[in-house]
Structure 1
């Protein structure tokens, strides 16, 4: 696809729009508008982000924003890309250490900007910042013997895990009416409720786990030990795949 056929939003994201030399110099730029929208979203959630509210924040009429951004949906896409910082440099790091850090930083970023979960919907990245994170993950896997498709699948699986964990932490007990009605404010509260709900005959394994204290002592929903446990399971699988490749084995082989 030639860039003159790219949607206007992608042209803006990648700085590929034709530059007009006519007319007065623009008062605003996309980074300024996007940063203002992110501030509003961080403070009020996506409900606080509209073309009117962003225009007010940057000091122009709402109609003036359409000179820079085609729609609110385009603005949301730009916001989701703009929050991504520079990824860490994989140079000199073992692939496993790097991907553990890479995944945790993505999870932490989403927890910092919880509204992004409503935008991304687990869609593949299109913006330059998020694609730079993909690039660095692929670079970290150089020399492992995995092919390019496998490297992308590894990055996708780790990103999915980061987003899923962040979604659970961000939403559990917050804004969920059933949780609020039941007085659930932490994982420990959730465990106590399950003790009451689960019939040991119908749910023998789950009942035994919660009665044995699986959720006991958890003051909140964020627990890095739990996050790292799941992450290590995934990375162990990647390590096994790399070992199979090194020995000439195939996926699913012995």
Structure 2
């Protein structure tokens, strides 16, 4: 039997597997307390405001003492991204499509409530107990669809990516695009007016025609719920078609 792969110290702490020291004074802090303090700072000041020194000051220890519990700022960010997640909605017998829509929207809303998460989770797969609980629940909702485990994981990754992308766009819209290339964009209509100025109809014939046709005119904004649902339905329609193909293949042995 192959030996168990040792977990990195931060994951041991996140999963409650760190061995308690047999000797010495009892630790004054724990990872949950430190992480909660860091989340408070990030919510108030953004991720740029989170420093090991600032977190240490908030929990009442010297910065050097914090490294006894958290090996680095990167480790702290990993813990924050996991701890900020609420419990996922429970499938509770819901049709897979209804649950997937609820699950994706809940992820988007979570990120909008804590936009600094976008800077931490762009490319990182879930490692902590709370984020993996979200993955588990969607896999459970997809049970009986005929998809194999790899396909279910890919569905989860696709929906998560959509939730993060839509949240990023909505957050940027809420900030007024103040730093977006200095363009001062406040919404989709402003974006359309800017494109109308810069697009060459000969090089961008389809896009130019859409812009001049008013595709962005009168839009409510970048975070319109109907737009979010439109994109989500497109993806769920694709999953539905994949399930239908798997079902048909199993039925006829193709």
Check whether TM > 0.5.
yes
State the distance in 2 between where 1:123 and 1:115 align: 14
Aligned to 1:68: 69
Tell me how far 1:37 sits from its aligned partner.
0.3
Aligned to 2:183: 182
State the distance in 1 between where 2:247 and 2:96 align: 15
| Number of residue-to-residue matches in the alignment | 249
* Normalised TM-score (structure 1): 0.92
Runs of 4+ with >6 A deviation: none
Q: Is the 8 A contact 1:107 1:163 kept in 2?
A: yes
Distance 1:4 1:17, change over 3 A: farther
Distance 1:13 1:3, change over 3 A: farther
Q: Is the 8 A contact 1:145 1:245 kept in 2?
A: yes
Aligned to 1:230: 231
Select between 155-164 and 115-124 the one with higher mean Cα deviation.
Answer: 115-124
Aligned to 2:207: 206
Deviations 1:94-132 (CA, angstroms, capped at 9, x unpaired): 000000010111111112211112112222111111000
Select between 50-59 and 164-173 the one with higher mean Cα deviation.
Answer: 164-173
Structure 1 position 96 matched with structure 2 position 100: no
Tell me how far 1:43 sits from its aligned partner.
1.1
State the distance in 2 between where 1:50 and 1:175 align: 25
Tell me how far 1:207 sits from its aligned partner.
1.4
State the distance in 2 between where 1:248 and 1:177 align: 48
Q: Is the 8 A contact 1:33 1:54 kept in 2?
A: yes
State the distance in 2 between where 1:158 and 1:182 align: 30
Tell me how far 1:88 sits from its aligned partner.
0.4
* Normalised TM-score (structure 2): 0.92
State the distance in 2 between where 1:175 and 1:212 align: 27
Q: Is the 8 A contact 2:178 2:185 kept in 1?
A: no
State the distance in 2 between where 1:30 and 1:245 align: 44
State the distance in 2 between where 1:229 and 1:191 align: 20
- Please give the secondary structure, in 1, of the residue aligned with 2:116: helix
